[in-house]
Amino acid sequence: MEIDMIKAGIIGATGYAGGELVRILAAHPDVEIKWYGSRSYIDQKYADVYRNMFEIVEDVCRDDNLEELAEQVDVIFTATPQGFCASVMNDNILSKVKIVDLSADFRIKDVNVYEKWYGITHPSPQYIGEAVYGLCEINREEVKKARLVANPGCYTTCSILTAYPLVKEGLIDADTLIIDAKSGTSGAGRGAKVPNLYCEVNENIKAYGVASHRHTPEIEEQLGYAAGRPLTLSFTPHLVPMNRGILVTAYAKLREVSREDGSQGLPSYEQIKAAYDHYYSKEKFVRVLERGVCPETKWVEGSNYVDIGFVIDERTGRIVMMGALDNLVKGAAGQAVQNMNLMFGLPEDAGLGLIPMFP
């Protein structure tokens, strides 16, 4: 039986995440892009904005009218700044199309926490409850039934997936969790900002949002669900001079467990590996690396994979957990497509057979 093509619209199609959505969806076997929304480039050819789409995309950019767009497509991706999606959301739109929102508008369940960390008033808190947090490896069944998915960001995806099995299984003291994360500059978006200029970023690395980064409560909330109680953790992001990639290095105190010989002590390598394998061995896009191999951003670039590794530090009683992903793919657009596939009953990896690029 012939399957109808899914008609998709993208709002924010000329940002970095939006451009990556176009790249992935243009090659998706079951999707037709009907709308390239961009308030900054209305009536300009999309291929004039992104020349890699020359003779691939012939359409012009349009505005961000979701009411009109909802009449023409089956799914809308909103790759927009915080506050936009929530400001235009209504029952009429949600009755006609499915929404995958790449902003943080519907990720955090406590509206007071959202407003505190993002510094804006939430215009449509009535939809927060039904929005599904779109981390497919954890919320797959809920995503399948959703009409509104809050697509996680890059830092949060990498941080949560790296620590999740050990928090869920109680192998670490989650209150001791410290997450050190580093991102390529595309994570800051395509807008012209002095801190992102070449001379500001090149030959430099810097921490930012120290003890105040707005992804912190999102990580705490999701890992808190895994722990079965509220968590407080330390999260520090850094900007590094590369285009793409997230590398997370997380540290936590190990909890004593019953070991294979019946004694009490720190978990063995085999017990930690078994925890990761329990949650990820059947996951297409999570690769738990072999012993002694640390994740590197260059081995996931351009792909929807997350690479995870760990080292037990017996001297300190801690574990070092490491994760790497491409912030524009698994950290944004690839994950959004993964969510869309689930929402429409497609194979989860449809259109995402992206082998990591090297060099």
Angle at 322 between CA 186 and CA 325, to 5 degrees: 30
CA dist 175 and 86 (Å) reads: 32
154 is catalytic: yes
| Contact predicate 165/279, CB 8 Å | yes
**312: nearest Cα among 188, 205, 187, 166:** 166
Phi/psi at 189 (5° precision): 90, 175
- Pairwise CA distance, residues 128 & 18, whole Å: 23
Which spans in 255-351 are helix H? 269-280, 334-343
The residue to which tokens 């524009």 are assigned: 328
Sequence letter at residue 351: G
Alpha helices in 59-153 (DSSP H): 66-70, 84-88, 91-94, 111-118, 136-144
- 61, 154, 199, 294: the active-site residue: 154
DSSP label at 338?
H
- Asked if 253 and 176 count as a contact pair (C-beta separation under 8 A), the reply is yes
**Residues labelled as active-site residues:** 154
